[in-house]
Amino acid sequence: MNKTSLHLAIRALLAQKTRTILTILGVSIGIAVVIAIMAAGKGLNKMVMSQLEVYSPNTMTVEVKIPSTKKTSNENAMGQATGITITTLKERDLEDVQKHPNIDAAYGMVMGQAIVKYQNESKTSLLMGEGYNLQEVEKFELASGRLFTKDEEDSLAQVAVLGYTMKDLLFGEDDPVGKTIYIKGKPFRVVGVAVKRGAVFGMDMDKMVVLPTKTMQKRILGIDYMQQIVAKARNRDEIKQTVSELEEIIRENHDITDPNKDDFAVNTMEEAANMLSNVVDGLTFLLVALVCVSLLVGGVGIMNIMYVSVTERTFEIGLRKAIGAKNRDVLWQFLTEAVLLTLFGGFFGIILGAILALIIYLVAVSYNFVWVYAVPFSSIILAVGFSAVIGLIFGIYPAKKAANLNPIEALRKE
Amino acid sequence: MTLIEAKDLCKEYVNEEVKTPVLHDLNFKIEEGEFVAIMGPSGSGKSTLMHILSFLDKISCGKYLFKGKDVSEFNDDQLAQMRSKEVGFIFQAFNLLPRTTVLENVMLPLLYDGVSNNNIRIYKAKQALINVGLDHRLNYFTNQLSGGEKQRVAIARALVNDPSVIFADEPTGNLDSKSGLQVMKILQSLNEEGKTIILVTHERYTAEHAKRILRIKDGVIESDEKVVNRQFAQTSNELIK
Ligand SMILES: Nc1ncnc2c1ncn2[C@@H]1O[C@H](COP(=O)(O)OP(=O)(O)OP(=O)(O)O)[C@@H](O)[C@H]1O
Ligand SMILES: [Mg+2]
């Protein structure tokens, strides 16, 4: 591509402004969508990963599961959702987990739902039974008041920490600390209010009430088992080892010999994070692949325009060749036009894509998602590279056609 | 010096297995500085011959020597190079680029002749336009010109590369007699300055402005003789120097 073909190409494109603009528009929309989707993928990734931020990568969980199913399987999820309750995870397991040398701290967790009342207000709320040592295991900050103590948990004290939204719903502007609420008709003293936490895995962490696990087991649910043990490992490098050791300990506690019949599963946060990250990346990749089809359509648009242009300008090409233009001069002239079209398309596509990504970001943020606005450099490379290649590939046939025209015949077509 | 030499030159068009023989075993020479008119009835092969001599088309058999060099086997690029360096064209239909100014049209051949400096291109194109008396129309678009003016732009374009030979295929065919005379006068004065000119026409009167007439009929040379009573284009035109 030299100065002359550049000059000629620009003039030719300017001579057909509407057509040029429409072609560029077609290309830039394709590129914009690729960039926007990749940026949205980044945002989505950030959102998903931020959900895990409450847990450190050292976090491990022991969850109950239906024997002979995989922990991520449908059977397990459906079974538990439709009422199969595993009742084997007990205080003894928690104590054994806590005793493991690589475990820093651990607590048992139970979940439930109940109507919570304060004076005339009553709300259905998620109840979480969590340990007094919750803050040693995961990030949990209080906006006011305090968490319950070990003594309170051991003595089955009826104390509660409110999620931020629950506090708003029940108390409005008033300070709830020290007030009494009623859960399932039983009085609970509010000792603290959690900070705003947002949603984790679709669960609104602010619309809940946290009770000591033991209190919840005995006073609310009347059970002696738990659904999950949440633990924090000391040393991340030994975590794999710890997982298998814990598995063996709990298996023994549960009198299980065949690992396939486990009624629990030990998971690490790292695994979960990787899995989620893979899912998001896979999804993004799929979308980008789909959108690349639209780039292809843009390319066909370029080819179409170039063919029309060659046909229309047959006379001009013939004349240029008659007065000394070589085949490659003509080839370059038309190829330059095609590449210019895609480059302009790429340029506007990047701008458009960045704007689109910004809009997605603003919408996501307005929905309270933890999102990032990032236009990945790789998306720009991909979009522009792909479109330049397309411009070349789809431009080369019409350009070749022009270059190989017979000047005498071309001159007859005025 | 011999500029053009045809040795048993022949041409046949091949279209989908159908062969149309047009030129048969032509032998002739054209020296530098000549002014030759190629005459003949319609379909006799005048344009075909001119296309071959001006490197727009390839021969089918025989030899075509240009400045002593055999160009019969030249490839597309070499032919383009010859068109760019050695010949200038004037067509019956002017063949100017529309939506383009006079100056730009004349600059066009320089673009493909490797004159990369735009100022030099403009300068040369202006000189050529002064030569045909059109330097007052530099920035007109070609579609704003009269037929005679268009053909003079075409002549300027043919001249701008300072070619060895100028080919004119029926250059007066689309012009009224006055504009036609103007064109012939320019060609004659160019020839006076030493430029070789090859003119295709089917009018005897126009042909007699040349110094030599080559008559073709059915693809063979019928006669080849000097013009005895040569016509000199007289115009009361102030434009031409
Ligand atoms: N591309 C082609 N394919 C086949 N036949 C052709 C082709 N071009 C020209 N011919 C034939 O060759 C013959 C000579 O054509 P040419 O154009 O050289 O004639 P001409 O002497 O210039 O005629 P005119 O005075 O009408 O311009 C004609 O019979 C024409 O039909
Ligand atoms: Mg002809």
Q: Enumerate the domain spans of chain B.
A: 34-59+68-240
Q: Which amino acid is at A273?
A: A
Please compute the mean of the pLDDT values over residues A208-230 and round it to a whole number.
93
Of the residues B84, B85, B117, B142, the best mutation for testing chain A's interface (the one with the most A CB atoms within 10 Å of its CB) is: B84
Q: Please enumerate residues of A whose Cβ is less than 8 A from a Cβ of B.
A: 3-4, 15, 315-316, 319-329, 407-408, 411, 414
Q: What percent of chain A has pLDDT over 70?
A: 97
Mean pLDDT of A34-54: 82
| Minimal Cβ distance to A414: which of B76, B77, B93 | B93
Which residues in chain A are contacts of B84 at CB distance < 8 A?
323-325
Q: Which amino acid appears at position A262 of this protein?
A: D
Interface residues of B toward A, Cβ cutoff 8 Å, are 51, 56-57, 76-77, 80-81, 83-85, 89, 91, 93, 95, 97, 99, 108-109, 111-113, 116, 157, 161
pLDDT of residue A200: 67
Gyration radius (Cα) of chain B, Å: 18
Instruction: Label residue A79 by pLDDT band (50, 70, 90).
Output: confident
pLDDT at A355 exceeding the cut of 70: yes
Q: Can you tell me which atom of ligand 1 is nearest the CA of A408?
A: 1
Calculate how far, in angstroms, residue B48's C-alpha sits from the geometric centre of ligand 1.
Answer: 6
* Cross-strand partners of A144: A193
Q: Which helix (H) or strand (E) holds A248?
A: helix A239-253
User: Does the beta-carbon distance from A322 to B83 stay under 8 Å?
Assistant: yes
Q: Give A162's DSSP letter.
A: E
Q: How far apart are the first and last CA of chain A?
A: 28
Any idea where the domains of chain A sit in the sequence? 3-51+275-412, 87-262
Q: Which chain B residues have a beta carbon less than 8 Å from that of A329?
A: 112
Give this prediction's pTM: 0.71
Q: Tell me what pLDDT residue B98 has.
A: 84
Ligand 1 pocket, residue B46 CB under 6 Å: yes
Per-residue pLDDT for A71 more than 90? no
* Average pLDDT score, chain A: 87
Q: So what's the pLDDT on residue B239?
A: 47
**Alpha carbon of A34 to those of A229, A286, A347, A381, B121: distances in Å?**
42, 11, 13, 11, 45
Task: Give B226→chain A minimum CA distance, Å.
Answer: 30
Model pLDDT for residues A244-303, shown as the tens digit of each residue: 999 999 999 999 988 888 889 898 888 888 888 888 888 888 887 887 787 787 778 888
A141-150, A336-345, B48-57, B88-97, range with the lowest pLDDT: A336-345
Residues of A in contact with B111 (CB under 8 A): 4, 325
Verify whether ligand 1 is closer than 6 Å to residue B219 (CB atom). Answer: no
Ligand 1 atom 12, closest CA: B22
Asked whether A32 and A356 are in contact (CB, 8 A), the reply is yes
Distance set, CA A166 to CA A162, A212, A361, B23 (Å)? 6, 17, 28, 101
So what CATH class is B34-59+68-240? Answer: alpha beta
Residue-wise pLDDT tens for chain B (241 aa)? 899 999 999 999 998 889 999 999 999 999 999 999 999 999 999 999 999 999 999 999 999 999 999 999 899 999 999 999 999 999 988 999 888 899 999 999 998 888 888 899 999 999 999 999 998 999 999 989 999 999 999 999 999 999 999 999 999 988 998 999 999 999 999 999 999 999 999 899 999 999 999 999 999 999 999 999 898 987 655 444 4
**What is the C-alpha to C-alpha distance for residues B88 and B154, in angstroms, rounded to an integer?**
9
Q: A54, A79, A12, A92: which is closest to A306 by C-alpha? A: A12
Mean pLDDT value of segment A48-72: 79
Closest-CA distance, B77 to chain A, in angstroms, reads 6
Distant-in-sequence, close-in-space partners of B150: CB < 8 Å, separation ≥ 6: B94, B96, B142
Check if B40 has its Cβ closer than 6 Å to any atom of ligand 1: yes
pLDDT top residue among A180 and A52? A180
Q: For residues B182-208, b (16+ Cβ closer than 10 Å) or e, as one string?
A: bbbbbbbebbeeebbbbbbbbeeebbb
Quick one: which of B197, B219, B193, B196 has its CA closest to B207? B197
Confidence of residue A30 (pLDDT cuts 50, 70, 90): confident
- Contact check, Cβ <8 Å, A319/B99: no
Beta bridge partners of B36: B198, B212
Distance CA B112, CA A343 (A): 26
| Distance from the B107 Cα atom to the nearest Cα atom in chain A, whole angstroms | 11
Predicted pLDDT at B218:
93
pLDDT at A201 over 70: no
Q: Which of left, alpha, beta for B195 (phi over 0: left; psi -120 to 50: alpha)?
A: beta
Confidence of residue A121 (pLDDT cuts 50, 70, 90): confident
Which pLDDT score is estimated for A365?
A: 86
Distance CA B134, CA B127 (A): 10
Q: What pLDDT does A414 receive?
A: 62
Contact: B83, A324; criterion CB under 8 Å: yes
Beta bridge partners of B126: none
Q: What are phi and psi of A315, to 5 degrees?
A: -60, -45
User: CB neighbours (10 Å) of residue A185?
Assistant: 8
Q: Is A101 exposed, middle or buried (0-12, 13-18, 19+ CB in 10 A)?
A: exposed
